[in-house]
Structure 1
Amino acid sequence: MRQSRMLLPTLREAPGDAEASSHALMQRAGMIRQLAAGVYSYLPLGRRVLGKIERIIREEMDRAGAQETLLPALQPAELWRQSGRYDVYGPELMRLRDRHDREFALGPTHEEVVTALVGAEVSSYRKLPLALYQIQTKFRDERRPRYGLLRGREFLMKDAYSFDADREGLDRAYGAMLAAYHRIFSRLGLRYRAVEADAGAIGGDGGTHEFMALADIGEDTIVSCSRCEYAANLEKAEARPAAPAAASSLTKGLPAAAAAPSHGAEPSTPAADDFSATDPPSAAAAPIAAAAAPERAATPDARTIAEVSAYLDVPPAGILKTLLFVVGGTPVAVVVRGDHEINELKVLQRLREDGLAREEDALELADAETVLRATGAKPGFAGPVGLDVPLLVDRDAAALASAVAGAGEEGFHLLGVVPGRDFPLERTGSFRNAAEGDGCPRCEEGRLTLSRGIELGHVFKLGTKYSEKLGALYLDKAGKERPIVMGCYGIGVSRALAAAAEQSQDGHGLVWPDALAPFHVHVMAVSAKDEAQQALAERLYDQLSAAGVETLLDDRDERPGVKFKDADLIGIPVRLVVGRDAVNGAVEYVERSGLGKEAVSAEEAVRRVLERFRPS
């Protein structure tokens, strides 16, 4: 391709709205242009990279036995009501009506459509298993589109669906897709992790994994072990129960009292000897000295954990944090240690298991009026003692021998509160986020570390969630009607492009891996007016193009500095610079990765390029 004929409008400066380096660089490199918030046009250079991502995905989906389809983006709203997701998806579902006032949705995903299709076409076990996939534009009305292609309202996605007669078949399909995803992201040249995850709005009754590209700009938090292969997103991650610490470390500043034994702690809580001595005391589950009953202490103007900690000279680990939520119109309370954060997803799952929340219910933080009505105190002074609402207690909070807690009265806290004695532990479990340095739940030596990631793909075991609701049934060998067992598997194609740009860059511009580069070789003559340079550049371009190597020829009448800056920005893997040594048949061979340069003959340059890029 001749650069003079290509729509490749590079920019010297990053657009003011660019929040991520990938967003800025792709706009500067003439790959994308924003049409509206979260809506982008792909220019030729960007479309070429996107096409290479699609090709790799198609090859691996075909290898995994899936068949490509193309399903409608315009979906009847009735399908979404039938599946129960019309309200669950909420305002992110783009809705519209046709001229006959029939309601439709622009598909953010295609579980409903593909289930209805297969349910109408597959009626016997003889047609199972089956796997279908598509690469198509999706639509989600994001509240705040950001980071360019990473969170848009219109995006390109690969979604695949497996259909089996039983759970064993689903397990095989899921395993095949997991393996295919590992091959895809490895071929894309991405640094990634596969992590345990939550199913979210897709739902299902089986396992699920997310594939995360490691990047500081990522909106997801990845929790991983320093010693074993355990990895999960923050919503799903577990931590080993915290170790008890010496009581004296938490009693400074409190009235002297005899320590009381813990009541209601889980029997499985490990002893201190089971943990490394490197555990930070401030993060350990430690007892507060307790008397026969809690002692009321004035804490004026101390509302937050930090303020209470400073006022009473007690570490956050010795304070019980009590937060009120509302689910389905009913208030519930959650108690965690003061140094921990509540995991709302885990709370909601437990409430659903206990019949206190429906599938469609959301968990919302209670307002000040609700807190006052339920606890007798304004926010900041609520505590678990005497509450008359469902109470969920995190296992690390339940393991405290005694602690500080809100008194249910403004300006006061209780000292020496004993879990299990002063408030019930009927609903105890893991209700907090894993934290940096926590013990790994899978191995004894490992510590958890937190990093950021960009979600690229998600695989789900759906089970019969959609087939039962949408009537996708088949006849088994005995002639009995059964629901088809499903799985679904998505990859954000445009997200993968942005993630690759985020990971593949330096201070000069993009640095594309060979598999994704829009072109393999960038040929340029330093002087547009030097006949020898132009002739050699044309010869190299013709020779490489004829050999099937994707080559971009910079034949523009531009200053050398402009050409070099554009070449660095675009990031093509190999650059052949034709300069003054053209009369001697020599060129400069430049590796974009690291910008290493070497003077070689034109013949040697061609040999190296063909060895690296010639199609097999």
Structure 2
Amino acid sequence: MRMSQLVGRRIKEDPKDAKTVSHKFLIRGGYVRPVSAGIYSLLPVGKRIVAKIEKIIREEMNRVDGQEVLMPVVLPAELWQESGRYESVGSELLRFKDRNDKPMLLAMTHEEGITHLVRTEINSYKQLPVMLYQIQTKYRDEARPRAGLIRVREFTMKDAYSFHTDQADLEKYYVRCHEAYVRIFRRLGMKNVLSIEANSGMMGGKVSHEFMAICDCGEDTVITNSDHSYRANREIAVAAWKFDKGEPLPLEKVHTPGAKTIEEVADFLGVKAENTGKAVFYQDARTGELVFVLIRGDFEVNETKLGNAVRIPELKFADDAAILAAGAVPGFASPVGIDGKKVRIVIDRSAAESGNLVVGANETGYHYKNFNFDRDMAGAECLVADIATVREGDPCPLTGEPLVFSRGIEVGNIFQLGTKYTESMHCEYLDRDGKARPMVMGCYGIGVGRAMAAVIEQSSDEYGPIWPLSIAPYQVQICAVNPGKDNVGEVCEKLYADLQAAGIEVLYDDRGEKAGSMFSDADLLGIPFRLVVSPKTLADGQAEFKLRGSRDAERIAVEEAIPLLKRKIEAENAKYL
């Protein structure tokens, strides 16, 4: 491709709304253009990168016996009504009616679509296991799109779904897919990707892993120990907390006028936050049911853990009216004396296993000292669970070492879905005895555009992306300095033709721009290998060879350029195998 014909201009200044490295360079380098908030067009160089990402994904999915399909973006609402997600998923699911007044939706994921497809095609254990995948457009009506391609509304995703006769077969295949994902991200040239335990969320299922590209702009928190033997996201991470009950002291009601917050109560009574119990109230967003949480004052509630513990998919903070109706007083609440049959009471381990805490007395201006769960909640109907958010430096559950926090971009996720969808949608097979059984499902996703952005976040400098050869838009860029002088244009034309004939992907900057502008554009394009031909180099029969990201360049004979590039490309490709 000639730069003079390439669609997509380079931009000198950072876009005003771009806060992340990838967002800045994807716009400035002419890879994408915004159409609306969270919606982008891909320009030719961006499309070339995406095509290479998709090619690698296809190769690895085929390697684990995947079969490619293509499902529609628009689905009838009835499929999601069968699974129960039409009602449970919030406003991020874009619902609409067609001209016949039939409820429809834009799919953000295709569990329902693939389950519908498989139940029409597979009916015997002899046809299982099977894995089907697609690379398809999705739409999620994201409330706050951000960071360019990292969080968008319309996006391309590889989503794969496996179907099995039983859980044991799913678990064996899950390991194969996990290994395939490790290979994919290595081949994409990502420098630091961790597989971590994760919460399944709206997807359902019990076991899931997220693949996190570690980088400063990541919106997810990755929690590890020093040797990465423990890895989890913030939603499910646990720590080896040890709590001290001590000798229980008598429960004592004390006057605490105006002291409502943990800080105010601790200061008023001269104790530490860890010697207090904090009451936090939630409601089921669908039913309004009140959930009363007691947690030690120096901890925060992990709402994902809480939702999983009480099996409520969406929680919201409770209003004062609901709290008062339960017999508690906002700012002075505790579960002491609260009827657990009317209110869901959840006690975090930190409060259940600590002794002599200060908690509310359910009376304005008063607290109890020396609350001890075993004594003061004896016989009460409540749930004790780990619902606390892990803090940096808390002890690792495996080694006891301090836990370390990092930031990451979720570039892939895999789930053991079980029978969540196949039972509700009657996707069944006949076993050896002719008995109908629900198929057992797995689900495996990769965000294609997000992967491209994550590579930039991990592989760039102040001038632009440094593309790994495996997904670079071109392998070589020729820069012609003063192409109208001293035979520069003619030499570059021959190099351009010979490189193409050798099967090397080449971008030829034939525009005759000034050297500074030309090199600035080349940095934004991030192509791994660069050949610079100028009157000065040709005076010695040479060209300048440079690696993107390296300050050093070397002179090589023009006739040695193609053999050298072939060797370099072969060596570089070997890194990703």
TM-score tier by shorter-chain length is over 0.9
2:247 maps to 1:296:
no
> What code does the residue aligned with 1:404 have?
V
Aligned to 1:348: 307
Matches within 5 A, 1:453-532: 453-532=408-487
Aligned to 2:338: 387
2:502 paired residue among 537, 547, 551: 547
SS of the aligned residue for 1:209 comes to strand
Measure how far apart 1:49 and its partner are.
Answer: 0.7
SS of the aligned residue for 1:91 comes to coil
Contact in 2 for aligned 1:241/1:395 (Cα 8 Å): no
Measure how far apart 1:115 and its partner are.
Answer: 0.8
Q: Distance in 1 between matches of 2:253 and 2:438?
A: 59
- 1:525 and 1:331, CA in 2 relative to 1: closer, same or farther beyond 3 A? same
Aligned to 1:193: 194
2:375 maps to 1:374:
no
> What code does the residue aligned with 2:531 have?
L
SS of the aligned residue for 2:460 comes to coil
Aligned to 1:250: none
- 1:600 and 1:478, CA in 2 relative to 1: closer, same or farther beyond 3 A? same
Tell me the alpha carbon deviations over residues 151-170 of structure 1, each in whole angstroms, 9 at most, x when there is no partner.
11100000011111122221
Aligned to 1:251: none
Contact in 2 for aligned 1:299/1:311 (Cα 8 Å): no
> What code does the residue aligned with 1:440 have?
C
Tell me the alpha carbon deviations over residues 233-288 of structure 1, each in whole angstroms, 9 at most, x when there is no partner.
111111112354xx9xxxxxxxxxxx634xxxxxxxxxxxxxxxxxxxxxxxxxxx
Q: Distance in 1 between matches of 2:540 and 2:511?
A: 23
Matches within 5 A, 1:234-313: 234-244=234-244, 260-261=247-248, 291-300=249-258, 302-313=259-270
Matches within 5 A, 1:109-508: 109-190=109-190, 191-204=192-205, 206-244=206-244, 260-261=247-248, 291-300=249-258, 302-327=259-284, 328-352=287-311, 357=312, 361-378=313-330, 380-388=331-339, 389-424=343-378, 426-441=382-397, 443-508=398-463
Q: Distance in 2 between matches of 1:294 and 1:540?
A: 88
SS of the aligned residue for 1:151 comes to coil
Contact in 1 for aligned 2:328/2:338 (Cα 8 Å): no
Contact in 2 for aligned 1:133/1:158 (Cα 8 Å): yes
Contact in 2 for aligned 1:224/1:450 (Cα 8 Å): yes
More deviation in 408-417 or 13-22? 408-417
Percentage of matched positions with identical amino acids = 45
SS of the aligned residue for 1:453 comes to strand
Aligned to 2:44: 44
Aligned to 1:610: 566
SS of the aligned residue for 2:489 comes to helix
Measure how far apart 1:375 and its partner are.
Answer: 4.7
Measure how far apart 1:325 and its partner are.
Answer: 0.9
> What code does the residue aligned with 1:363 have?
L
Q: Distance in 1 between matches of 2:255 and 2:490?
A: 89
Contact in 1 for aligned 2:243/2:353 (Cα 8 Å): no
Measure how far apart 1:299 and its partner are.
Answer: 4.7
> What code does the residue aligned with 2:247 have?
A
Q: Normalization by structure 1: what TM-score?
A: 0.88
Contact in 1 for aligned 2:256/2:268 (Cα 8 Å): no
Measure how far apart 1:64 and its partner are.
Answer: 0.6
SS of the aligned residue for 2:539 comes to helix
> What code does the residue aligned with 1:589 have?
F
Measure how far apart 1:77 and its partner are.
Answer: 0.4
Contact in 2 for aligned 1:22/1:501 (Cα 8 Å): yes
> What code does the residue aligned with 1:234 have?
R
SS of the aligned residue for 1:70 comes to coil
More deviation in 77-86 or 235-244? 235-244
Measure how far apart 1:126 and its partner are.
Answer: 1.3
Contact in 2 for aligned 1:227/1:447 (Cα 8 Å): no
More deviation in 506-515 or 420-429? 420-429
- 1:28 and 1:228, CA in 2 relative to 1: closer, same or farther beyond 3 A? closer
Aligned to 1:282: none
Q: Distance in 2 between matches of 1:512 and 1:312?
A: 59
SS of the aligned residue for 1:163 comes to strand
Measure how far apart 1:192 and its partner are.
Answer: 0.8
Q: Distance in 1 between matches of 2:511 and 2:429?
A: 63
Measure how far apart 1:542 and its partner are.
Answer: 1.9
Contact in 2 for aligned 1:532/1:583 (Cα 8 Å): no
Q: Normalization by structure 2: what TM-score?
A: 0.93
> What code does the residue aligned with 2:326 have?
A
Tell me the alpha carbon deviations over residues 279-298 of structure 1, each in whole angstroms, 9 at most, x when there is no partner.
xxxxxxxxxxxx41224142
> What code does the residue aligned with 1:349 have?
N
Aligned to 2:25: 25
SS of the aligned residue for 1:498 comes to helix
Q: Distance in 2 between matches of 1:125 and 1:395?
A: 45
Q: Distance in 2 between matches of 1:225 and 1:463?
A: 30
Measure how far apart 1:526 and its partner are.
Answer: 1.9
> What is the total number of aligned residue pairs between the two structures?
563
- 1:608 and 1:375, CA in 2 relative to 1: closer, same or farther beyond 3 A? farther
SS of the aligned residue for 1:435 comes to coil
Q: Distance in 1 between matches of 2:506 and 2:72?
A: 36
SS of the aligned residue for 1:236 comes to coil
RMSD over aligned Cα, in angstroms? 1.9
Q: Distance in 1 between matches of 2:10 and 2:425?
A: 49
Q: Distance in 2 between matches of 1:310 and 1:50?
A: 57
SS of the aligned residue for 1:149 comes to coil
SS of the aligned residue for 2:152 comes to coil
SS of the aligned residue for 1:12 comes to coil
Q: Distance in 2 between matches of 1:155 and 1:34?
A: 13
- 1:408 and 1:603, CA in 2 relative to 1: closer, same or farther beyond 3 A? farther
Tell me the alpha carbon deviations over residues 361-414 of structure 1, each in whole angstroms, 9 at most, x when there is no partner.
521111233233335423x33233333333211112222121222333344433
Measure how far apart 1:131 and its partner are.
Answer: 0.8
Measure how far apart 1:226 and its partner are.
Answer: 1.9
> What code does the residue aligned with 1:308 have?
V
Gaps of 5+ in 1: 248-258, 262-290
Q: Distance in 2 between matches of 1:386 and 1:199?
A: 36
- 1:560 and 1:91, CA in 2 relative to 1: closer, same or farther beyond 3 A? same
- 1:480 and 1:559, CA in 2 relative to 1: closer, same or farther beyond 3 A? same
- 1:135 and 1:375, CA in 2 relative to 1: closer, same or farther beyond 3 A? same
SS of the aligned residue for 1:539 comes to helix
Tell me the alpha carbon deviations over residues 476-501 of structure 1, each in whole angstroms, 9 at most, x when there is no partner.
11111111111111111111111112
Measure how far apart 1:60 and its partner are.
Answer: 0.2
Measure how far apart 1:563 and its partner are.
Answer: 0.6
Q: Distance in 1 between matches of 2:50 and 2:156?
A: 9
Aligned to 1:288: none
SS of the aligned residue for 1:48 comes to helix
